DNA sequence: TTGGACATGTAAGCCGTTACATGATTAC
DNA sequence: GTAATCATGTAACGGCTTACATGTCCAA
């Protein structure tokens, strides 16, 4: 499981390049900071950490805080080299699967009003996302670390993507009734 | 493999709801019409077709055209019911993984200029996509079948997504040099 | 005392890609 | 005759999610 081609390794390595962390903290950090374009589950994180230690990309030590065992993971110089090499490679094209679009494509075979319902639900979710982005953006004001500029780029991407999606949703919702009335003629 | 939860089944079923087709044709159609938001490989299509026949969602007959064997697949009434049921279900949230954004997020650990290169490569690809979309759009002029309206919605989504991405790419490329000079101070 | 957050891990199993195997037909 | 396209499948393997198992600490 996760033996070399998995990008999970590099996601973890990238975070460890700025701070040492436990598996649990890595999970949290990912969910909070890059969750809108990258996800990792425990089922991958823990095996990946073991694997990377074996390869010498990280050092892992069990630090006993109080009575809790908590493994702290630290990147090694070798790990930094591996990370830099990966960062230099061209991103491989993503496989995109958009279930909502698929359902719209087949909408002629769905009951009337169904797809409109999906679009409305998606609009609510998108508005929710927009709010979350705005909150993050407002907290990210002051001139921080070097990385902050890059973080802002990824946030900006998210904001624009949601913005574009919302506009498409509104426009498509406005066009839907016409299509359906046409169908009924 | 692909025993029930896979959405491949429904993608195939949706196409078969409008025309009978062979596995090979299904692959072609998917690549040409919904390829920008949905992909299927032969490794899934053929087993899925067998599976759906066993379930009674489709009928498959080996039609000998000349000397070639070619299995033609036709949707059954039961298949239509299954399709309609699936269409009525809310789309499950997609898992998004954007490698380019991940690399940008970690850009502080990459060699200078590397990420800018990725952005430029991505811009070229996006421009290519934009051209493809424009071509499809121009061929989709006349008032066609009922489904055509829905197909246009999915195309519209693609066009807006690329448009937004391109604007983000341009703006981000414009901001990159400043970030890097800051870093060198 | 009970529930929730903290914390680490394993196992099962699905989903999907890729590579392989095979063969007919068509165009150059 | 040979390469490309048409055409159908199988096998291996990898990646990832989900569910399970286990246990501590803290607050209401």
Helix B77-88, helix A114-139: angle, nearest 10:
30
Strand partners, B21: B73
Do B96 and A37 count as a contact with CB atoms less than 8 A apart?
yes
Do B107 and A83 count as a contact with CB atoms less than 8 A apart?
no
> CA nearest A118: which of A101, A143, A137?
A101
Question: Cα–Cα distance between A89 and B126 in angstroms, integer?
Answer: 18
Name, in order, each residue with C-beta under 8 angstroms of A54's C-beta and a sequence gap of 6 or more: none
C-alpha dist (Å) from residue B111 to A75, A89, B104, B108: 18, 11, 12, 8
Question: Cα–Cα distance between B141 and A104 in angstroms, integer?
Answer: 19
B62 touches strand C (CB under 7 A): no
Residue of B nearest to A156 (CA): B168
The maximal CA–CA distance of chain B, rounded, in angstroms, is: 74
Contact in structure between A37 and A154 (CB atoms under 8 Å): yes
Residue of B nearest to A33 (CA): B105
Contacts of A165 in chain B (CB under 8 A): 161
Contact in structure between A56 and A78 (CB atoms under 8 Å): yes
SS3 B2: coil
Residue of B nearest to A168 (CA): B157
- Angstrom distance, A140 CA to C10 C1': 39
- What tokens appear for A129 in the block? 């996302």
A70 touches strand C (CB under 7 A): yes
Do B38 and A101 count as a contact with CB atoms less than 8 A apart?
yes
Interface of B with A in 90-119 (CB under 8 A): 90-111, 114-115, 118
Contact in structure between A125 and B69 (CB atoms under 8 Å): no
pLDDT tens across the length of chain A (185 residues): 334 489 999 999 999 999 999 999 999 999 999 999 999 999 999 999 999 999 999 999 987 655 567 899 999 999 999 999 999 999 998 889 999 999 999 999 999 899 999 999 999 999 999 999 999 998 887 666 778 999 999 999 999 999 999 999 999 999 997 787 665 54
C-alpha dist (Å) from residue A166 to A96, A120, B161: 19, 10, 11
What digits encode the pLDDT tens for the residues B98-109?
999 999 999 999
- What tokens appear for B185 in the block? 């101070």
Question: Cα–Cα distance between B132 and B102 in angstroms, integer?
Answer: 27
B7: nearest nucleotide, CA–C1' criterion = C15
Nearest CB partner across the interface for B164, out of A93, A150, A161: A161
Q: Which nucleotides of C are covered by protein (CB under 7 A)?
A: 6-19, 23-26
SS3 B180: helix
- Angstrom distance, B70 CA to D6 C1': 10
Query: What end-to-end distance do the CA atoms of chain A give, in Å?
Result: 55
> CA nearest A84: which of B181, B107, B122, B180?
B107
- Angstrom distance, A17 CA to C9 C1': 24
What digits encode the pLDDT tens for the residues B8-61?
999 999 999 999 999 999 999 999 999 999 999 999 999 999 999 999 999 999
What digits encode the pLDDT tens for the residues B143-184?
667 789 999 999 999 999 999 999 999 999 999 977 876 655
B97 touches strand C (CB under 7 A): no
């Amino acid at each position: 499981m996760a033996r070399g081609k998995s990008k999970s390794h590099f996601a973890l390595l990238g975070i460890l390049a700025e701070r040492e962390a436990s598996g649990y903290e890595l999970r949290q950090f990912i969910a909070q900071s890059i969750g809108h374009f990258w996800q990792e589950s425990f089922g991958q994180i823990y095996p990946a950490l073991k694997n990377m230690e074996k390869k010498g990309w990280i050092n892992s030590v069990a630090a006993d805080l109080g009575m809790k065992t908590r493994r702290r993971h630290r990147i090694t110089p070798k790990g930094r080299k591996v990370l830099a090499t990966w960062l230099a490679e061209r991103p491989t094209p993503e496989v995109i699967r958009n279930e909502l679009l698929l359902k719209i494509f087949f909408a002629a075979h769905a009951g009337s009003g169904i797809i409109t319902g999906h679009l409305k639900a998606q609009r609510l979710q998108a508005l929710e996302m927009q709010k979350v982005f705005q909150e993050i953006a407002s907290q990210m004001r002051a001139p921080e670390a070097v990385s902050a500029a890059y973080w802002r780029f990824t946030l900006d991407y998210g904001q624009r993507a949601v913005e574009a999606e919302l506009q498409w949703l509104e426009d498509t919702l406005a066009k839907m009734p016409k299509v359906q009335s046409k169908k009924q003629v």
